[in-house]
């Protein structure tokens, strides 16, 4: 491909079977890939890359309703009225039994439901139309494989809600920080990658920088140990988007000021507290809406991406762009005399 996609240098090729020369300079090649980062840089430089985000949950439900369910009913020898599945049941299957960008596993789960209904009908155990309810799903598909992360109902010290982009869509992550007497050790635990660990170190450096503003002594950090814990959730998380979340949880733990519980945030932090843009905003916004978040804090550099978020998701969120951590604290820490 590297040779083919550079017609300025290579345009004439030879078929070794037919021994015929042919020109590929006017041919358009369309390729797909699940991962962009492992495509060699010289090859990627000759491509025009189009990023296609995963389906939203509402889109998956409509795909299942209009395409997957009719297809599986026919495949299982059932009529269109033999199985009645509401959109709420399809949404439950999507969120509790699948975790993917597409709908391949969703089709498998719908197929499982249809096959079991067909078997019961063939055995004479069921007659007439069968209505599938959410309560029946564990019996048909087993216990839920994925549990949605819900936001805390109470305001707590050292706790902040962040958003992560994963290969199967957005996900909510809760970050906890514990401060105990010690010797200045920083521990980062949970299912997180190297980039996210660096975000934790950047958040600590920023906290040290503003220690005077926080009312902390210069030697305070050498007398404590700090643990930053990222709850595991369903999918391993990594990427430069958890910096401000870690900083909020850390500052909350250091000052004992609770955080606002229905606010989620995404963005990277510099050592000076500047909030940097991130990717995957649409997927993260969908995850926030699904988890019951009411306010979403995003980097000011991502304002251009807000129109790409589906209207039904935007309407349920108050989106606040920020440029610096000072603005983040205004919206995430509970106001008090401090």
How open is the CA angle 303-279-61, to the nearest 5 degrees?
95
Q: Is 241 a catalytic residue?
A: yes
Q: Which two tokens stand for residue 21?
A: 């020369």
Rg (CA), the chain: 25
Q: Is 86 a catalytic residue?
A: no
- Catalytic choice (284, 311, 318, 338): 284
Alpha-carbon distance 67 to 162, whole Å? Answer: 34
Alpha-carbon distance 66 to 60, whole Å? Answer: 10
Alpha-carbon distance 140 to 119, whole Å? Answer: 12
Query: DSSP characters for 51-112?
Result: --PPPPHHHHHHHIIIIIHHHHHHHTT--TTSEEE-HHHHHHHHHHH---SSSHHHHHHHHH
Query: DSSP characters for 282-324?
Result: HHHHHHHHHTT--EEEEEGGGGGGGGGS-HHHHTT-EEEEESB
Alpha-carbon distance 227 to 243, whole Å? Answer: 15
Alpha-carbon distance 229 to 231, whole Å? Answer: 6
For residue 184, what are the contacts with CB-CB under 8 A and spacing of at least 6? Answer: 221, 222, 223, 224, 225
Alpha-carbon distance 107 to 91, whole Å? Answer: 13
- Catalytic choice (116, 199, 241, 252): 241
Output the CA–CA distances (angstroms, integers) from residue 84 to 66, 117, 129, 290, in the order listed. Answer: 13, 11, 7, 25
Alpha-carbon distance 32 to 38, whole Å? Answer: 13
Catalogue the active-site residues: 241, 284
């Amino acid at each position: 491909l590297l040779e083919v996609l550079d017609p300025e240098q290579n345009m004439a090729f030879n078929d070794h079977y037919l021994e015929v020369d042919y020109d590929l300079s006017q041919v358009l090649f369309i390729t797909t890939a699940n991962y962009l980062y492992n495509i060699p840089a010289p090859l990627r430089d000759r491509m025009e890359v189009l990023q296609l985000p995963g389906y939203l949950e509402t889109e998956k439900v409509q795909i299942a309703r209009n395409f997957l369910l009719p297809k599986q009913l026919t495949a299982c020898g059932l009529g269109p009225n033999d199985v009645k599945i509401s959109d709420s049941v399809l949404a439950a299957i999507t969120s509790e039994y699948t975790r993917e960008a597409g709908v391949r596993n969703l089709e498998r789960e719908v197929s499982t439901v249809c096959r079991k209904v067909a078997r019961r009908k063939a055995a004479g155990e069921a007659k007439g139309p069968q209505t599938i309810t959410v309560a029946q799903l564990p019996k048909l598909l087993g216990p839920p494989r994925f549990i949605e992360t819900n936001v805390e109902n109470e305001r707590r010290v050292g706790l902040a809600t962040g958003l992560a982009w994963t290969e199967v869509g957005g996900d909510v992550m809760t970050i906890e920080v514990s401060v105990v007497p010690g010797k200045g050790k920083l521990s980062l635990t949970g299912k997180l990658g190297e980039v996210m660990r660096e975000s934790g170190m950047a958040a600590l450096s920023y906290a040290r920088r503003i220690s005077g503003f926080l009312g902390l002594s210069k030697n305070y950090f050498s007398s404590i140990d700090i643990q930053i814990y990222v709850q595991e959730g369903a999918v391993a998380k990594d990427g430069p988007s958890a910096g401000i979340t870690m900083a909020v949880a850390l500052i909350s733990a250091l000052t004992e000021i609770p955080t606002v519980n229905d606010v989620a945030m995404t963005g990277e932090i510099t050592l000076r507290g500047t909030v940097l843009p991130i990717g995957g905003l649409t997927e993260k916004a969908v995850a926030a809406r699904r988890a019951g978040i009411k306010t979403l804090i995003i980097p000011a550099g991502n304002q251009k991406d807000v129109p790409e978020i589906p209207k039904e998701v935007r309407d349920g969120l108050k989106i606040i762009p920020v440029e610096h951590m000072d603005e983040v604290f205004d919206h995430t820490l509970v106001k008090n005399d401090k």
